[in-house]
Amino acid sequence: MKVMPLQKRNISDSRIVLGCMGFGGEWNKESITEEHILQAEKAIDAAQSIGITMFDHADIYTNGKAEEVFGELLKKRPKLRDEIVIQSKCGIRFADEKGPQRYDFSKDYIIKSVDGILSRLHTDYLDLLLLHRPDPLMEPEVVAEAFTELIQKGKVREFGVSNMSAAQVKLLNTYTPQPMIVNQLELNLKHNAFVESGVLVNQESGSKVNFADGILEYSRLENVQIQAWSPLAKGMYSGRKLDHLTDADLKTIELVGKMAEQKETTKEAIILGWLMKHPSMIQPVIGSTNPDRIKKCADAVRQAEEMTREEWYSLFTSARGQKMP
């Protein structure tokens, strides 16, 4: 039976990750509340109830409040830390008096960011630290210095990236003390690159990933865990009402519903199962604070295992709105 790259490295066997971007309320400067903490606790409990033991953060999520809320839970339930894997991301800086929104992979900023993350989470270490999107001014030697110090001080155990091409990962790996073992990409039925080439651009977020250099194939060869952010496509195929849907979107929504009904499962399980069927052993990062929606993902592993090649291609072709190239 195939296993995930993270499982091969004895880091995590959690087939799904709970993304914590929604923890902490709005993206403002207001303080966290007991209501925020209770919301997060219910989400975490729901996640654990379906076997999720890995949690994804970033220092910018709700302006740091997502990590603060999670940290309050770790203080309240100290045994929880040993039961889970925590990863966070750094490198994005919002516009301020010094300049516009930008990326910063300088040594001082990475180390300062990690110290802030650990303080907010009330933990001594991160299982994984990811560089949050590519920095055009990245100097891999400088990143390596930061990573070496973080390892030596026991603050971070493993490292990864998000939204990077194979060439960018190779460049980092040439200098860093440990290889990048995770790459987070936007992958879902609407936004996939399994049979694509060139630079894929998300029109809403502006994120770009160069799939022409074989990032999926490179990741399989090097045991890099591909994590899919926005794996449910913002609920497009599972019931959320969205504007400006194409004919392909509408037909795929209908097909997902029909398959879920036939298989006596949820739409979420079908959508995630389709993604997890891919031989890259993709690990979806579901970004929900709704316990019911989290639990609807429970059957995804089984659906991935049982989905036929014909079913997979039916969904793929439908979502593309065109025949295979």
Active site residues: 61
- Cα(125)–Cα(80) distance, rounded to whole angstroms? 14
Cα-based angle 139, 115, 142 (whole degrees, multiple of 5): 10
Tokens of 294: 């989290």
Look up residue 52 and give its amino acid. Answer: I
Cβ(132)–Cβ(93) under 8 Å?
A: no
Cβ(18)–Cβ(59) under 8 Å?
A: no
Cβ(224)–Cβ(180) under 8 Å?
A: yes
Residue 160's H or E segment, with its range, is strand 156-162
Residue 201's H or E segment, with its range, is strand 199-201
- Cα(178)–Cα(62) distance, rounded to whole angstroms? 30
Residue with tokens 């429970």, as numbered in its chain: 298
